[in-house]
A and B are shown apart, each in its own frame.
Chain A
Amino acid sequence: MRVRALVVLLVLAAPAAAAAATADQVTRGLHLYGRYCSSCHGPNGSGQARSGSTRAGGGPARDQQVQAGLGPPLVGVGARAADFYLRTGYMPLKRAGLQPRRSRLLLGPQEIDALIAYVASLGKGPPVPRPRPERGNLSEGQHLFTQHCAGCHQVVAEGGYVTGAVPPPLEDATAVQIAEAVRIGPYVMPVFSERQLSNAEVDSIVRYVQWAKHPDDRGGWSLGHVGPVPEGLVTWFLAMSVLVGVCLAIGTRLRG
């Protein structure tokens, strides 16, 4: 009886405890935000879109004018965006205008949790998605990825180039991060909403991207799955060196 009562108490107390933990987290997050984020994203995530100077030399394909202290507002971006940018190391960004890239995490997991809780508290926003790649269809994923993503990320997600940015290879992306990126559209990536790509379709895309990390390489050494450039290197530096070597073994050389 006493054990049962204890269990019931714990069960009832858990959400309260969780809520309490979140409140602590939010406070902690506020302090971290102040230290690492507010210089660009402004107080309370209000964003900073102007710092009083004009854009200089902004060409069509070059990074726009870089000014310290410019960042988008974070009100309503939700836990989803914070989770994505922080767990990939996209944020903090060294300089506004640089393309965010996957980097070493400067903050520990608990600090990241705190920041996510704070950003989520700034306004009602989407939660961290829970993709189910095992429910996705590999062929549907291949097709959707080819139609919507391969133009930038290359058909087996080896990454590529678009004028002014470098869509990254996706070999380190987790299922959650893929689902997040599709919905967020970081940097110059388009934003694919649920109306355009349903959650089930995103499951298929995630399944495909995960498959593409170790695709079918039945032909042998894969050379990076990027096509003819490494194949040409193998032709010249491997095949032709060997064959010229054979010619040298068979023939004579110039003397004197």
Chain B
Amino acid sequence: MADDAPWYEAALLVGVTNALNVVADSPLESLEPASPGAEAQAVFAEIRAFYDRTDVPVAFRRVAADPGYLADVWGAARRAFADNTLTRRHKEALAFAVSVTTRSPFGTAFHLGEMRRLGVTERGAMEVLGVTQMFSSYTKIADTLQLEPDMDHLAAGDPSPAPGGAPARSRSRPPEAP
């Protein structure tokens, strides 16, 4: 299980990111309570603290009419985005990539903002965007031609540790890449 932890975390993060985005990007303004009750306000306070901001992201405001549901959605989101095997900074990069890929205006802007707030530079954001764009190209080429996987054993060597993992052990192939 431990070896799979980064991938479990990434997959759960993708799901939670998409769940927040679909609500935030849908025309659901009419569901936002004008005056959220005390229970919802308590959750809002946790959200503001987690994101270090004065407002509450729209994805959470939209579900505040049911404070119990809001609390559970927030609990899942907080867990998904908190530092764990993967860092919060890296998780925001993954969420940004997912949001760009799924064309989510809310998610794209929100997670780009979170990356910056957590110290990612413009160059770092551009790196994530570049990977997202390149793989949005390759995946569509592969799907259009119905290519079958043939690269799973070919990944170029890399000395850096897996995200959240220990440094790579000795490999049969040298780590340097052009």
Is A bound to B? Answer: no
Show the binding face of B for A, using Cβ within 8 Å. Answer: none
